[in-house]
Structure 1
Amino acid sequence: MSNKAVILGCNYYIGLSVIRCLGVHGIQTVAVDYSEENTYGAKSKYTSERLIAPHYKNESKQFIQFLIDYAKKQSAKPVLFPCHDSYLEVIDEYLDEIRKYYLIPQTEQGLYTKAMNKEVLHRIAMEKGVNVPETVRVNEENLFEKVESILKYPCIVKPTDSPTFVAKFRRKLFKVHNRQELQEALAKAEEAGLEVIIQRIIPGFDDHMHTFDAYLNQDSKVSHWATFQKFRQYPINFGASVYTGQKYIPELYEIGGKFLEEIGWKGFAEIEFKKDANTGKFYLIEINARTTNFNTLINKIGLNMPYIAYRELTGNPLPPKAIKENTGQVFWYGYEDMLAVKDYIKTGQLTVPQVVKSLFKKHAYAIWDWKDPKPGISYAGIIAGKFTKKFLKK
């Protein structure tokens, strides 16, 4: 296979999972980061090359030129895998240019950004008849009255641009319980120059969060898919998956597959839904346009999404496949799950017996792999270093 795979962002386990998914099939993987620091994913035995590029955000043009210069030296177009929203944003900005030198599923410049922008996604979903949480915009008249009558407290203040918001505040959103907290949250966002929207919280514990994970071919048709149920997130209630199980839910395919096909999506996407505990309706929360956190689980149940993309883009597509049974397998990110469990128990949302019982399922680990131990050992060293620093500060 002469087409290399260029993986952007290997200081996180998503990049590591992509490297492994492709490396096991003998594909040359190129790990690209802007720094050597904490790039434990690049230490995989399946990494063929390691490159340090200009910073994707601080030096965007130089970063794109770096990728182009590298591709020009190759005998065949590399396949590009952005593994973080921030990488995806800059790739989308220069998509028409980068596609001259790389194979990447999406062909419509701007579609990645539309899907990641919560305000735009909300509007598109409404146009397509997909349920979305009731929303109030900050520039609407009688803002606070509308929040109190339509959304009610508590509600959430949510960024339209998640990567920038998370980088600034180290959280995905603000949860507010009254008018004063809402005013404070809006002031923080305004001071940071970030656009936000205010939304109703869909009732239900974290196990009411579900996902539809799919690959759409170059005809924008779903060719591979599975559905999942979250059990625990970190930070709790409004965070990323740390303990998620595969569960076959046909309704999510009916909603999610139709939506992605209608907007002309190509490549991998994950739609997050929340099931209303009172009505049973599924509400679209967001779209992850890059490889998802629990990619190791998707691979373990039989859908190697990075390899599916690689095969199609290099002209040798795999046959369609869907997981239409319950496998009983779960994804587990042990370190952050321990932090989450502490908070779930502290707030009375889970009990110790419930947590212990959940740990006896078949696991797909976020980082650890007996066949490829170096990334896990490196990550353990990073965590140990953090604890040491905290201890020395006391």
Structure 2
Amino acid sequence: RIALRRMPSIRQTLQEMGVKVREVFPELRRGTRRGGDGPRNGTAPTPLTNYLDISIGTPAQTFKVVFDTGSANLWVPSYKCSPLYSACVSHSRYDASKSRTYIANGTGFAIRYGTGSVKGVLSQDIVMVSDIPIVQVFAEATALPAFPFIFARFDGVLGMGYPSQAIDGITPVFDRILAQQILQEDAFSVYYSRNAPLKPGGEIILGGSDPAYYTGDFHYLNVSRSGFWQISMKGVSVGAEMLFCREGCSVAVDTGASYITGPAGPVSVLMRAIGAREVAEGEVSARPAGPAPPLLPGPVPALSPPLQFVVDCEQVPQLPNISFHLGGKVYGLSGPAYVLRQAQYGEDVCVVAFSGLDIPPPAGPLWILGATFIGHYYTKFDRRHNRIGFAAAR
């Protein structure tokens, strides 16, 4: 069992500093188009505010990492990272020279992001996840882009995806744990607390689930794309009307994402259907919702959208349900479930937790269910049977 810690997201950190996202990332201004082949694993561009602690080395060096089902590698900043990379200096760094169980590998490693690449070298050491020690090959990041990582409160990323997603063919952490045959089930479950002041922010259970976190039974869907935590969806409804995905579509269930993400066009239509307005970062004057701009490509969450969809806070209780049709069941979210009340630059703003992101083939088009959804539906990732289960969260 692993407790999750709730911490400020990159967006919240910027707001505390009085800095607007679009001032830090000029390429995110409206109308800017970026090339590239899009996200390598289809995660939404909004960071989780829940992180977990792991340790690497002997004696243990502790790191805060994002738990990400949309990727399959473990990386943390390295002590070898030059002070010129300010994002390295502001985070915990792995020092191989202080670990007596370190084994050099030296193979180069890189993950591409929209604002640059995380680069480094592979190393091997003992990694402790919860109380489970494993011998793990991981990446020491020796080059870390200042933006957005200098604003991130997490140190690195722990990928929980399938081995086929792993860069350089590295066996993922969870597969190393499975090989020890110590878990009750070849599965893990994720619970996110919806009570903002509550600590911890949730819990990850390796090897099963906890009935205290859900009511009723789990309902399972087989993964629709081999080697990825993706399933088939049969529709997206607003109120009683099915608006999208009538012919079926793919959806990724991603613990490394906060928002629910869909293709930009349908998300804009959906926002108009609930009466949401589109506002630029830090603005309160509204304009009709239009197509969402393309967002930063990247294999893990980095930044929330530069244009937000907002609603009048007093209207939130009257908003229609938005429902997802999955495996013969309908999973609905009420207005208060998909709207986040945030203080932005001295004002209360009610932000709709949806974003538009066009992921090109073959990975896309793709919908992504992040923490907004998982917080209401306790989620179990079953590797033995290659399926994902949902149950109503308590």
Q: TM-score, normalised by structure 1?
A: 0.29
Which structure features the higher share of helix residues? 1
Quick one: higher RCO (CA 8 Å, sep 6+), 1 or 2?
2
Which structure features the higher share of strand residues? 2
